[in-house]
Amino acid sequence: MAVSTLNSDPPEAGGSSTVKGLKCRECGERYELAPEHVCGFCFGPLEIEYDYEVIGKTTSRELIESRAPNMWRYKEFLPLSGEATVGKQVGFTPLVRAENLGRELGLKELYIKNDAVNYPTLSFKDRVVAVALSKAREFGFKVAACASTGNLANSVAANAAEAGMPAVVFIPADLEQGKILGSLIYGARIVAIHGTYDEVNRLCSEIANKYPWAIVNVNIRPFYAEGSKAMAFETAEQLGWRVPKHTIVPMAGGSLITKYHKAYCEFQKLGLVDQTDFKVWGAQATGCNPITNAVKNDTDLIRPVKTPNTIAKSLAIGNPADGYYAFKVMKDTGGGGEDVTDEEIVDSMKLLARTEGIFTETAGGVTVGVLRKLLAQGRIPTDESIVLAITGNGLKTQEAIVGKVGEPEHINAKIEEFEALVGESGNPI
């Protein structure tokens, strides 16, 4: 029995050969594949259940490597019934060996999984949207929607445009220009709510009960969330089929970090990588730190932050849907969590740009900043492998660095003026 969240005709249930159905994370109740996200018995969140025996018989490193370089090379681990129809080219972003940043921080083996250059909208959200909208079409939905802190808005608007689906995108009104314009350009209907993200999300839950829309992170959430696993699968494959000892992941609702963990476990379970110990670390901004605050206080009771106040707006979720599960992943792997101030965020954005030539958004500054903090606390050994999940692009959050990266030097187009600028030595550097 599944609880219906739709008033119109229920979309058809589907099932790929590797997917068994939906399962409640709390009470274990099973459901057919449907656009549902809450257990009808205990109100726990629903998750995709796979048939790992079937996956084990069909996948191998060689098969995966023979496929095109995008996230669908792991399609057996993703919950579509047929081939992807939205976001067919998403994923397989670079895993960069960060020699310069590593040297600066005294680290032997540091990598950056760079989703700041994910296709098409420059954040890891293109992965979740590719799965959510492909699945929404399998279910027969005609309209795409989302509640977003910015990057999801960009990705739903862009991918829906390409798929020819009308889209309605809900955002808090105070987002960065880059995130707002980067949604409007695709012709989606953008609804800016005067309130926090949590208020936007609450409204979207009500809308999901009334309108037959695929709200990717509400009624399609179990499918949406699985898309995040591809970032971790790629990390392990690009590392030479191995799980890094430490992975640092930025947290908003806390979904991505749990899926990094799930993906590593799935690869281990199927023998695609060795069974090595790994630790997962979560990163937030101090101005909105409900999950890291719980981890630091060693309590799984996530106290919501009522009025988030940070430049890391993409992470500013005061009441994180997956906070409890994120907490568990950090505890169970022996990792942990930390948060950093706005000043530390900007400083770390600058450090990453100066050392590696990577311009990340504020969320990336959070991740790099938390690595520095954990190193200062001596919690991550300097000779072990570390991967930073860099999830978004700095061009979208330019407000954060205005006035903090200097100014260009202005002259007229005259050689004398240039030489006056560089001085007697004639050396411009």
Ligand X SMILES: *Cc1c(COP(=O)(O)O)cnc(C)c1O
| Least spacing, CB of residue 403 vs ligand X, in Å | 23
Cα gap 256→245, rounded to integer Å: 18
Q: Which of 7, 17, 27, 404 binds Zn ion (CB under 5 A)?
A: 27
Residues paired with 50 in a beta bridge: 19
Terminal-residue alpha carbon distance, the chain: 70
| Least spacing, CB of residue 23 vs Zn ion, in Å | 9
Q: Which of the 8 DSSP states describes residue 275?
A: -
Which residue, 172 or 250, is less far from ligand X as judged by CB?
250
Which residue, 150 or 212, is less far from ligand X as judged by CB?
150
Residue 252 interface partner, choices ligand X, Zn ion, none, CB cut-off 5-8 Å depending on type: ligand X
| Least spacing, CB of residue 28 vs Zn ion, in Å | 7
Which residue, 42 or 117, is less far from Zn ion as judged by CB?
42
Q: Which two tokens stand for residue 196?
A: 């926090």
Residue 255 interface partner, choices ligand X, Zn ion, none, CB cut-off 5-8 Å depending on type: ligand X
| Least spacing, CB of residue 3 vs ligand X, in Å | 23
| Least spacing, CB of residue 423 vs ligand X, in Å | 42
Does 40 help bind Zn ion (rule: CB under 5 A)?
Answer: no
Does 42 help bind Zn ion (rule: CB under 5 A)?
Answer: yes
Does 3 help bind Zn ion (rule: CB under 5 A)?
Answer: no
Helix, strand, coil abundance in the chain, percent, nearest 5: 40, 15, 40
Which residue, 212 or 222, is less far from Zn ion as judged by CB?
222
Does 418 help bind Zn ion (rule: CB under 5 A)?
Answer: no
Cα gap 204→220, rounded to integer Å: 12
| Distances, alpha carbon 59 to alpha carbons 43, 54, 63, 202, in Å | 34, 9, 6, 40
Amino acid at 76: E
Extended beta strands in 185-304, E state: 189-193, 214-215, 246-250, 279-285
Which residue, 252 or 295, is less far from ligand X as judged by CB?
252
Q: Is 35 helix (H, G, I), strand (E, B) or coil?
A: coil
| Distances, alpha carbon 96 to alpha carbons 53, 212, 241, 389, 396, in Å | 33, 42, 15, 11, 21
Cα gap 145→108, rounded to integer Å: 44
Q: Which of the 8 DSSP states describes residue 7?
A: S
Site of interaction with ligand X (CB under 6 A): 123, 125, 151, 250-256, 314-315, 361, 363, 391-392
| Least spacing, CB of residue 126 vs ligand X, in Å | 10
Does 29 help bind Zn ion (rule: CB under 5 A)?
Answer: yes
Does 30 help bind Zn ion (rule: CB under 5 A)?
Answer: no
Give the binding site for Zn ion (CB under 5 A). Answer: 24, 26-27, 29, 39, 41-42, 44
